[in-house]
Amino acid sequence: MTFRATLLTLFPEMFPGPLGLSLAGKALERGDWSIEARDIRATATDRHRTVDDAPAGGGPGMVLRADILARAIDAAVLPDDPRPRLLMSPRGRPADQETARALATGPGVVIVCGRFEGVDERVIAARRLTEVSIGDLVLSGGEPAAICLLDAVVRLLPGVMGHDASATSESFEDDLLEYPQYTRPRDFEGQAIPEVLLSGDHGAVERWRRAQAERLTQARRPDLWRRHLAGKRDFPG
């Protein structure tokens, strides 16, 4: 089953963008996944293809209209489409590695890329959109956030990465940051590769890597460390 991504956006030319390159791009060429970017303006009814209006109650900026976005979603997604419907939004629940892993095991995703001051609240409820954020920052639109999320998902699809173990030995697995990595040359500006990594003792290497991952997580992400110690995760559903 091919993973299908459908994007609702005011700038379809932004896709596939970086997703058409490197491993994701090769997987796209092979047909491991597909991406379709649909222009929300195609469902506007006036000659200027207007999609926004002033916020009710006043205030700065403009708001994406519910009726136009609803028509765009209905034109792109059948009522029985099982794919989750996401709205990239800074007020959404944070996406994380478990989010990406859950999406990668499904049939695909529908992503609405917000713009302006936001999206009319009524269409969020009426079309059952789940708001998702990639971090506590505000972007000019949801397109860059959608690209980030899809990149995290596509790399987890079967056969996309060159080594299956890569997905199980990186940051956020088991709520730990990844351990330090080294390669040639053996000595660089007076700094040597840790001897344990050159010892050939696989058990010692694994213990060192685990200790380093724990040290980094404690120092840099105390929130992850607390979650690791608790042995549970709090992922958006």
The per-residue pLDDT for 188 is: 96
The per-residue pLDDT for 173 is: 75
Q: Are 3-154 and 169-230 the same fold in CATH?
A: no
The per-residue pLDDT for 1 is: 74
CATH class of 169-230: mainly alpha
Return d(Cα 3, Cα 154) in angstroms, integer.
8
The per-residue pLDDT for 174 is: 84
The per-residue pLDDT for 124 is: 98
What residues have CB less than 8 Å from 150, skipping those under 6 apart? 5, 19, 24, 35, 109, 111
Domain residue ranges of the chain, discontinuous segments joined by +: 3-154, 169-230
Amino acid at 84: P
The per-residue pLDDT for 35 is: 98
The per-residue pLDDT for 165 is: 45
| Mean pLDDT (10-residue bins), the chain, 237 residues | 95 98 97 98 94 95 96 96 97 95 98 94 98 94 98 96 61 86 96 97 97 96 94 48
Let me know if domain 3-154 sits in CATH 3.30.70.920: no
pLDDT, tens digit, for every residue of 204-223? 999 999 999 999 999 999 99
Asked whether the beta carbons of 115 and 142 are under 8 A apart, the reply is: yes
The per-residue pLDDT for 235 is: 36
